[in-house]
Every structure is written in structure tokens, then in C-alpha cells.
Chains A and B, each alone.
Chain A
Amino acid sequence: MDENFFKKLLATYKIEAQEHLQIISSGLLGYERSSDKIEKETIIEEVYRAAHSLKGASRAVNQYEIESLCKGLESTFSSLKKGEFTAGPGLLDIILKAVDLIDSYIITDDEEKKSGLKEEMSLVENEITNISYSGAKKQDERSKGKKSEGSSDAKDKKVEKENEGYKESKGYEERSNSREEQLLQRVSDRPLPTSDTVRIAVSKLDSIFLQAEQLISIRLSSEQTAKVLNDLQANFNLWKKEWTKVNSAFRKIKSQTDPSKNNKSLISFLEWNNDFFTGLSEKVRKLSRDSGLNNRQFGQIVNELMDDVKQVLMLPFSSLTDLFPKLVRDLSRDLNKEVELNISGMEIQADRRILEEMHDPFIHLIRNCIDHGIEMPAERIRKGKDQKGRIDISVSRLGGNKLEIIIEDDGRGIDSAKVKKSAVDHEIITEDEAKGLQEHEALMLIFNSGVSTSRTITDISGHGLGLAIVGEKVDKLGGSIKVETKPDLGTKFIIQLPHSLATFRGILLSCSGRLFVLPALNVEQVLKIKTGNIKTVENKETITVNNIPVSLVYLSDVLELHKKEPIYSNGGSFINIIILKSNEKRIAFVVDEVLYEQEILIKPFNKQLARLKNISAVTILGDGKVVPVLNPSDLIRSAEKYSASETLEHEETIQREEVPGSKNILVVDDSITSRMLLKDILESSGYNVKTAIDGIDAITALKVDSFDLVVSDIEMPRMDGFEFTRNVRNEQKLSSIPVVLVTALSRKEDREKGIDAGANAYIVKSNFDQSNLLDTIKRLI
């Protein structure tokens, strides 16, 4: 047989088989729970069919081991159907085990593992036959020979019947040309669940999605082009206006001038020039108009396409939660607990990638509920609760692009004292910090790696890792998580998630000359504040927003970027602030500028960049620029760490400052680099430094604050260093302030000019080194 075809067929078989297995396992769980006879019958019919189809499919792809096991399952179900015996938990367990085995057998490609599974499968097969056989026997004995045939006879009959079916299809086979065709026929013979659905490989959908996503960056760049053309048109309009102004003059000259040779060529050039530009301007106008039009249409199409593609990628939560009943059953059985699982809202759809990401977190949370939450039946009875524990999972849609998932148990609840103790033991917080924590703050600690309230570590949970993973995943998806708990009443995990991924709103900002994006979802507020409103509490800078104090940190400090002088808006005292919120924590970050908010297309990093501090991904702007996307929860944690370490630093500098005394120095320079350099040198020597950008600015500053010394550049706009020095000397109040001129002008005349103006010292930049300047200053003050 064509190998490729067989491979394809096998792939199809895998998908099909897993569906059948899913039907069997969920069916059996329903069977066990149900007490309604008719419902049970329907279920048995369903699982019987699934086993039968799986048997046929397995045979078609030469999976004889699976076929044989399915045969056993099929005859058991058939006996159940006929009411020859009823299934107890023992039989159901074995059947579920068989389903698990088949599932692992199908998934694995490892031959060694396969042969191991093969053995197990044949054991399970024997067990199933035995149980159903003896079960049937007992039933038979009880019905005192009402039926003359035992189940083994029935089985034989069944097999015979099955073979007849096989014969029939053989007959068909003979007529068909090849085995391949026949196999195809088998697969396509199965009626599709509904006629208007198709099955598409996820990888194909992903590729379509990526391509559609790529269109977004093209759209953004097309927007950019349209804007450039628009600007160009504005330029031409300006040219036109200027031309119109001189046009009459030009015509006058033209009419007056004797068409002699000298001017003729110039005039005709100007005329040609005018025509040429007018033509060009017209072309640009059209181009700009067309581009704008195209851009709008393109944008609309891309948006619609993206919406549709996102729709295609949506799956109901049931695709995830269908696995849970079995998980809960298995886990609770292992732990000898009784647990009832209730799931609601499973029809709600979410992006497939979100569901995939949430798979592990869900399992961790459910394990937690069963292992830590729900008590042993005896303990529950003692507490006056129903001996059967409950886990409720519900999904609901909130406004906007948000979903809420609640996982709730009615167990013993989380003991926040234990959480605190574990966190202290793991050195996540100090004992003092633990004392100051509010109840809900303490509970959030369980999302730290290593924190666990379980005294015993089982293979199910207790490692303290599960909830850390949950927290991390939820973060990554741009969601949030909360815990509520009441002793002996239960625990409730509330998770909020976006229901689609891909694009989101981001806020573009600049910090230390670099661009960054923050997810708008986490930005609570963007504001400008007066530097005077910053208060220092215990050496930590805070601001008060809506009457709530928020600690304030420079983004450049957290990212360890070279700090630029904060950009003060006119008047000099406003700074830009973004208040970030993540997991119930808020911190204000000082940034250089907040540029705009726009739709952002998230690009994941390549494999080399597995995980970065404070940066979660990147985005590509319309002009092709790559911009890092900041990770809000990382940032908040970094900021907390930073401000803790900074407090210490502050204390150190305060001690150091006592030596030279807190002298105030004003640095005047028009170049930001020199200004920063000087400021840095002086501050590290313990002076208080303020800056001004030119002479006029400096005069104003001197009037507002009192300074012990001024360090000034000479060449500056508006008012240079010489003039500034003269002004200082002429001002009675300021005349005694020492002025140090620092300049690139090393000529003797300049030096004399400086001294004439009244400067106390004159330092040439070419031989400018720190000690020279510092020595000079020390001598003067």
C-alpha cells in the first residue's frame, strides 16, 4: 500500500479513535451516575456503537490489538444492552482502564512502549471477558435457565454476525479496484455528525491564522503610508500657497521684461517649474486620496477577516472540561474521597489557544480541590457536611473581551496562617511582613512557587508548584486570579481571562529614549503630576491618586536603563505617570512620555529567548519598528524589589551627605549630556544639584531657590555664560554666589572675558576631569 496514504489514513484514524474513546469514557461515567433506566439504555447503545465503530476502524488500519480489545468491549456492551447483567463499578473501572490503554497505545510512537501496552491490553481483555462471562453466568443462574444460552454463546453468535458483516464488505471489496479505495470507502462510509461541518487539521487553521495576522502589520504599514502621502500633500499645498504669493509679482516681471536672452531661460524655467510642480502636486493629491480609500477598505476587510478567523479558532469550553469527570473520578478514588463534579457554562466559546493554555491550570486547581480542599468522608460527616464533596466549575461571559471561570469546592478552606508560615519558611516574605498582611494578601501568596499548606507531599499535589503554574499561565494570558476562602465552607478560585488573543490594545510609551508597549488591560490610569505632589514615606516615593497612596518608581530604574533627566513639561514640574495594575497590586511608573494607544499585534520570541525578565513578547509597529511588550506582573514585582533595595541606598547616601554638608549647586548647560554628566559627578560627591538649560532659565532658578554655587557652560542659546555671569554679579542678592564656568573655549581671550564678567573659576573642558572641578568647588564653598 502507498505508504503516504497509509500515514494519512493512520492520522485520520487517530482522531476518529480518540473521539470514540471519549464517547465511551464519558458515556460510562454518565451510566454510573444515572439511575434512570431509559437514560442508561441510551448510553449503553451509544457506547456500544462507539466500540463497534472503533473496532471496524482499527481493523481497517491493521491495529489488530485494538480491534480485539474493542471486540471484547463490544460484546460486553452488547450483553449489557440485552440486560444479561448489569455493570458494577468493578467492570466500569476495567473498561475505563481499557479505554486509557487504547488511548495511550494510539498516541505513542514508541515501539517499546507499544509492546508493553499490548501486553496490558490483552490482560485487560481477558479480565473483561471473564467478568462479563461470570456476570452473565450469575444472571443466568438467577434467571434459572430462562435463557438457554450463556453469554459465551451469545458472544459466539455476535462474532458470527460480525463476520457476516465482514463478509458483506468483502464482497464489496472484490468489486473495488484496490485496497486503498476500500479503506477510503470505510472511512467515508461513516456518516458525518452533521452535514455542514468539516474536519480541518489544527495546523492548517493555525497557518491561516498566522497569515491573516500578518495582514494586520501590513494594514498598520499601509496606514502609515497613507499618512505620509497626506503629509506630502500638505507640503505641496504649502508650496502652492507660497507660489501664489509671488505669482503676481512673477507675472509682472514677465510682462515687463524684455524677452531678451538673459532672463528668457530663467523665466521659462520658472514657468516650467510651476507646471511641473502643479502636475506633481495633482498626482500626489490623487495618490493620497486613493491610498486613503484603499487603506480604509483594506482595514475593514482585514478586521472582518480577523474576526472571522478568530471565530474559527473558537472552541467551546466543553472541549476542555469533557476530560474532567474522569479526572475527578480517578483522583477521588485514589484518595478514597467522594466527590461530585458539577460543570456549567461549557457551551461558552474561547480562543483555542487560551483553552490549551488553561488545560494544565485547570488540572492543578482540580487536584488542589480534591487533595487539599475536600475532606475525607468521615471528617465531613463529623463536620455535619454531606459525605460527598462538591466541586463546581462554572464559566460565564463578562462584558468586553472577558470570561470568568470559577472553580469552587466545599472543603475545609485555606488556612491563611499556614500559607503565611509556608511563605516565611520559603523566605518569600519575612515574619514581620507576614504579620502586616491582610487576609486576602496572605492568600495571594499561594501563587508563589514553593508555598503549600499541605503537610504531606503526595504525587498529586503538595509540592507548592501547581498554583504557581496557574498564576503564571493566567498572567501570561493577560488575565487575573483571585481566591476566596472560608474555613470549613470551601475555597473559590476566580479567574478572569480574555476570550480571544492575538491582538490587544497596547499603550506605547518611551523611557530613556526607547519605546515600550504596555498592555492597556493592565493600565489603570495615565496622568501628569506635579513633582511637588510626590511625597516621601519611609524613603519610598509615593503619590496619592483618588485618595489612595501609590508607590512611585522610575521605569528606567526598574529596567536598569540609563536614566535620562526626567522630561518636565513647560514650567518644569510635571512628570508623566502610568499606574499599572496586576493581581490586585498597583504601582505608579514614571515614564518619559506616553505616546498613544493602539491595536498591537503580539509576536512571540524565538526559542533562544525562552523567558525574559519584565518583557513578555514584542510587537511590530506600522513602520516596522520592533518594540518590546512589558510584562505588568513582572514589572510590579521588580518595582517592589527595587524600591526595597533603594531604601537602603538612600540611607547610605544620607550618611555620606553629612560630610560635605548639603550644599546646593545649580548646573547650567544647554546640552543634556553635559548636564547629566555634571549632575552625576556632583551628586555622587554629595551635593544637591538642580539644572537649568540656559542663562535665562538659570537666573529664574536662582531667584526661586537658594544656591551655594553655580556651574555654567558658556555657549548657550538666549543668554550665554558671560552674560549670565554679568547678570549674577549685577543682581545685588545674587552677587556673592560663586560662578564656575566650564567651557570648550580655551583661548586666552575667552578666559579673560570670563574673569572680567565676574566668574570665580574657569575650567576648560579639554582638560576637564572630575577632580579638577571638584577641587575647584571645594575651594569655593
Chain B
Amino acid sequence: MQKSDSDAKENTGLKVNLESTEEEKRILKQRAFQLAKTPKRDKEEKGKTIEVLSFQLSSEIYGIETSFIKEVLSLKEITPLPLTPPFLKGIMNLRGEIVSVIDIRTFFDLTDSGITDLNRVLYLYSEDMSFGILADKILEVTSIQLSSLHSQGLLTIKGIREEYLKGVSSSGMIILDAAKILADKRLIINEEL
């Protein structure tokens, strides 16, 4: 019995040793990391940029952060589903996966003004939601400084509900808040008969 006790001690002793070296390594790493950082954090925050994919829909130019875009698809064949809300345009087949496609204009209660040539779908995703949104044309991927976005003001003119907006860029691009759109429970269709 004693023997096994001492064994256990030895064993835990070994474990402590091992952990302390790992702990040391971790501390060293952390320090190195701290040192490597630029000292002024303030500047970093201010200059934070987001990567945005811009697209055209009706006569407006919108942008969505690329980190929420899984894929850009071309709109080939879409199957409409009866008895669903008008913002749901239908579903499409992406290599055997079913992707639902939404027209954000309808969802935002925008009157679709201007000629549209819907032929692209931005496949948005987050951890627990994914769907596609319609676009006329994909423009480009740009980096935008968060600080350069104006908030509000213009937005009311554009008629989009504030909650879905990140801001408007200096060039007039409407940056949508994809995280909020993806998390919006109103987009989930759950209809009992």
C-alpha cells in the first residue's frame, strides 16, 4: 500500500514537472508575442479594416464582409416553393446541397426599383445559419477602414432598416451587417399549418 502511495507521488511529481516546463514555454511564447506586437493598440483599433465583397442589386451597390461569404454562385435554376413568404425566392441545388435563396430587397421592404438582372447568389453562412442572397452583379473585393464608414444619415434615405447596416462607405456603398442578417430569426421560416 505504501509502495503504491509513493508511486503515485512520484507520478504526480513527474506530472508537475512536465506541466511546469509547458507552462514556462507558454509564458515565454506569450512574452514573445507581446513583444512582437506594435505597442500602440489605439492606432490598431482605429485603423481596423474589413474585407468586403461589393455587389450590385437594382441600382444600389452593397457590400458584405467576405468572412461571411462561403461561395459566390451563378443563378442557374431556382425552384420556387409555394406558400412561403415573398422574400424567399426559392431553393437551388449546389452540388447536392440545398441552398435557399433570399431577395434582401423584399425582406428589407425596399421597392425593387431599377432594372435588375439577377444572376448571382452570394452564399452566406455562419455557424448555425446559411442561405443565399440574390445579386445582379459582383463587383470587387475591397478593404474598407471601419472608421471611414458613416453611420445613419444617408441610410434613412436608402430606406433600409438601420439594424442591418454596418454603415455607408465614402463611395456610397451600403455595407450590410451579415452577422445580424444571418442571426435574424425573422428569416427562419417555421410555419405550422
* Choice from B7, B11, B79, B130 contacting A606 with Cβ under 8 Å: B130
Report Cα–Cα, A637/B191, bound state, in Å. 14
Near A by CB (< 8 A), chain B positions 169-193 give 187-193
Are the CB atoms of B83 and A160 closer together than 8 Å?
Answer: no
Please tell me if B80 contacts chain A, counting CB pairs below 8 Å. yes
With A and B bound together, what is the CA distance between A167 and B2 in angstroms?
10
CB distance from B173 to the nearest CB of A (A): 26
Per-residue contact bits, chain A 596-631, to B (CB 8 Å; 1 contact, 0 not): 000000011111111111110010100011111000
A514 to B91, CA, bound (A): 14
Can you name the residue of chain A whose Cβ is closest to the Cβ of B3? Answer: A167
Q: Are B131 and A626 in contact (CB under 8 A)?
A: no
Is B67 an interface position by the 8 A CB rule?
Answer: no
Indicate if the CB atoms of A620 and B191 lie closer than 8 Å. Answer: no
Q: Quick one: which of A173, A608, A612, A637 contacts B83, CB cutoff 8 A?
A: A612
Which listed residue, A160, A514, A628, touches B1 by the CB 8 Å rule? Answer: A160
Q: A561 with B82: in contact, given A625-B77, A637-B193, A638-B193 (CB under 8 Å)? A: yes
A609 to chain B, nearest CB (A): 5
A559-B82, A626-B91 known, 13 other contacts, Cβ within 8 Å: A163-B4, A174-B7, A514-B82, A603-B98, A607-B128, A607-B188, A609-B81, A609-B91, A614-B193, A618-B91, A625-B79, A626-B79, A627-B79
Cα-based distance from A628 to B82 in the complex (angstroms): 9
Chain A hits for B188, CB < 8 A: 607-610
Contact call B192/A611, Cβ cutoff below 8 A: yes
Residues from chain B with a CB closer than 8 A to the CB of A626 are 77, 79, 91-93, 98
* Residues on the A chain within 8 Å of B80, using CB: 514
1/0 contact string of A326-362 vs chain B (CB within 8 Å):
0000000000000000000000000000000000000
B1–A163 touching, CB < 8 Å: yes
Question: Which residues of the other chain, B, contact A705 by a CB distance below 8 angstroms?
Answer: none
Contact between chains at A166 and B189 (CB < 8 Å): no
Instruction: Write out the residue numbers on chain B whose beta carbons fall within 8 Å of the beta carbon of A608.
Output: 100, 102, 129-131, 187-189
A612 contacts across to B, CB distance below 8 A: 81, 83-84, 189, 191
B99 interface residue per 8 A CB criterion: yes
The 4 tightest CB contacts between A and B, nearest first, are A610-B190, A559-B82, A626-B79, A613-B83
User: What string of 1s and 0s marks CB contacts (under 8 Å) between A453-490 and chain B?
Assistant: 00000000000000000000000000000000000000
- Report how far A173 CA is from B190 CA in the complex, Å: 57
The minimal Cβ–Cβ distance linking B158 to chain A, given in whole angstroms, is: 25
Residues from chain B with Cβ under 8 Å of A170 in the complex: 3-4, 7
CB neighbours (8 Å) of B11 from chain A are: 179
In the complex, the chain A residue whose C-beta lies closest to that of B14 is: A179
Closest to B82 in A: A559
- A606 lies within 8 A of B131 (CB): yes
- By a CB distance below 8 angstroms, the chain B residues around A160 are 1
Task: Report the Cα distance A611→B192, complex, angstroms.
Answer: 7
The yes or no answer to B114 lying at the interface (CB within 8 A) is: no
Decide yes or no whether B39 CB sits under 8 A from chain A.
no
Q: Determine the distance from Cα of A267 to Cα of B193 in the docked complex, in whole angstroms.
A: 71
Alpha-carbon distance between A214 and B77 when the two chains are bound, in angstroms = 20
Whether A628 contacts B190 by the Cβ 8 Å rule is: no
Give the contact-size bracket for chain A: 35 or more
* Cβ < 8 Å to B, chain A residues 299-315: none
> Which B residues are CB-close (under 8 A) to A613?
83-84, 191-193
**A624 proximity list for chain B (CB < 8 A):** 77, 93
Q: Which residue of B lies closest to A631 (CB)?
A: B193
Within 8 A of A (CB), among B136-171: none
Q: What residues of A have a CB within 8 angstroms of the CB of B83 in the complex?
A: 559-560, 612-615
The 27 sampled A-B contact pairs (Cβ below 8 Å) are A167-B3, A173-B7, A179-B11, A514-B79, A514-B82, A605-B98, A608-B102, A608-B130, A609-B81, A611-B189, A611-B192, A612-B84, A613-B83, A613-B84, A613-B191, A613-B192, A618-B98, A620-B93, A624-B93, A625-B77, A626-B79, A626-B91, A626-B92, A626-B93, A626-B98, A628-B82, A637-B193
Considering the complex, give the chain B residue whose CB is closest to the CB of A623.
Answer: B77
A139 at the interface (CB under 8 A from B): no
Q: CA separation between A281 and B49, bound complex, in Å?
A: 60
Chain B residues numbered 86-106 whose CB sits less than 8 Å from any CB in chain A: 88, 91-93, 96, 98-100, 102
Tell me, rounded to whole Å, the shortest Cβ–Cβ distance linking A467 to chain B.
16
B-contact 0/1 string along A549-570, CB 8 Å cutoff: 0000000000111000000000
Q: Which residue of B lies closest to A163 (CB)?
A: B1
* Residues of A156-185 contacting chain B, CB below 8 A: 160, 163, 166-167, 170, 173-174, 179
Which single residue of chain A is at the shortest CB-CB distance from B76?
A624
Q: Is A166 within 8 A of B193, CB to CB?
A: no
Q: Is the CB of B79 within 8 A of A607?
A: no
Choose from A559, A605, A634, A638 the contact partner of B100 (Cβ within 8 Å). Answer: A605
Give the docked Cα–Cα distance between A614 and B192 (Å): 9
Give complex CA distance A514, B80 in Å.
9
Q: How far is the CB of A174 from chain B (nearest CB, A)?
A: 8
Residues of A near any B CB (own CB < 8 A): 160, 163, 166-167, 170, 173-174, 179, 214, 217, 514, 559-561, 603-615, 618, 620, 624-628, 634, 637-638
Give the distance in Å from the alpha carbon of A339 to the alpha carbon of B84 in the complex. Answer: 47
| Nearest CB of chain A from residue B127's CB, rounded to whole Å | 10
Chain A residues, Cβ within 8 Å of B81: 609, 612, 615, 628
Q: Tell me which residues across on chain B come within 8 A of A627, comparing CB atoms.
A: 79
Chain A contacts for B92, CB-based, 8 A:
626
Report how far A428 CA is from B39 CA in the complex, Å.
69
Q: How far is the CA of A628 from the CA of B13 in the complex (A)?
A: 64
Contact residue among A514, A609, A637 (Cβ-Cβ distance under 8 Å from B189): A609
CB-CB under 8 A from B7, the residues of chain A are: 170, 173-174
Q: Which residues of A contact B190 (CB under 8 A)?
A: 610-611
Question: Given A609-B189, A626-B93, A634-B193, is A560 in contact with B82 using a C-beta cutoff of 8 Å?
Answer: yes
**Who on chain B is nearest to A168 by CB?**
B4
Task: Give CA–CA (A519, B51) in the complex, Å.
Answer: 46
Which of chain B's residues have a CB closer than 8 A to the CB of A163? 1, 4
Q: How far is the CB of A643 from chain B (nearest CB, A)?
A: 15
Residues in chain A near residue B98, CB distance under 8 A = 603-606, 618, 626
> B97 to chain A: closest CB distance in Å?
8
A644 to chain B, nearest CB (A): 14
Instruction: Report the nearest B residue to A633, measured CB to CB.
Output: B193
Contacts of B77 in A (CB 8 A): 624-626
C-alpha gap A559/B80 in the complex (Å): 12
Give the shortest distance, in Å, between A739 (CB) and chain B (any CB): 39
Given A514-B80, A560-B82, the answer on whether A607 and B130 have CB atoms closer than 8 Å is yes
A609 touches B100 (CB 8 A): yes
Cα A637 to Cα B193 with chains together (Å): 8
Which residue of chain A is the closest to B100 with respect to CB atoms?
A: A608
Chain A's closest residue to B128 (CB) is A607
How far apart are B14's CB and chain A's nearest CB, in angstroms? 9
Q: Which of B77, B98, B129, B191 has the most CB of A within 10 A?
A: B98
The docked-state distance in angstroms from the alpha carbon of A620 to that of B92 is: 10
* Minimum CB distance partner of B79 in chain A: A626
Least distance between B180 CB and chain A CB atoms (Å): 15
A610 to B79 alpha-carbon distance, docked (Å): 17
Closest to A604 in B: B98
Q: Which of B3, B131, B189 has the most chain A CB within a 10 Å cutoff?
A: B189
CB nearest to B190 among chain A residues: A610
B79 engages A614 (CB within 8 Å) = no
Q: Which residues of A contact B96 (CB under 8 A)?
A: 214, 217, 603, 620
A699 to chain B, nearest CB (A): 39
Which A residues touch B128, using CB under 8 A? 607
A361 smallest CB distance to B (angstroms): 18
**In the docked arrangement, what's the CA distance between A160 and B80, Å?**
73
B193 near A607: Cβ-Cβ < 8 Å: no
How distant is the Cα of A625 from the Cα of B82 in the complex, in angstroms? 16
Nearest CB in chain B: distance from A284 CB, A: 27
- In the bound assembly, the distance between CA atoms of A608 and B1 in angstroms comes to 61
A569 to chain B: closest CB distance in Å?
25
Docked pose: A170 CA to B131 CA in angstroms: 56
* Distance from B22 Cβ to chain A, minimum over Cβ atoms (Å): 10
CB distance from A705 to the nearest CB of B (A): 34
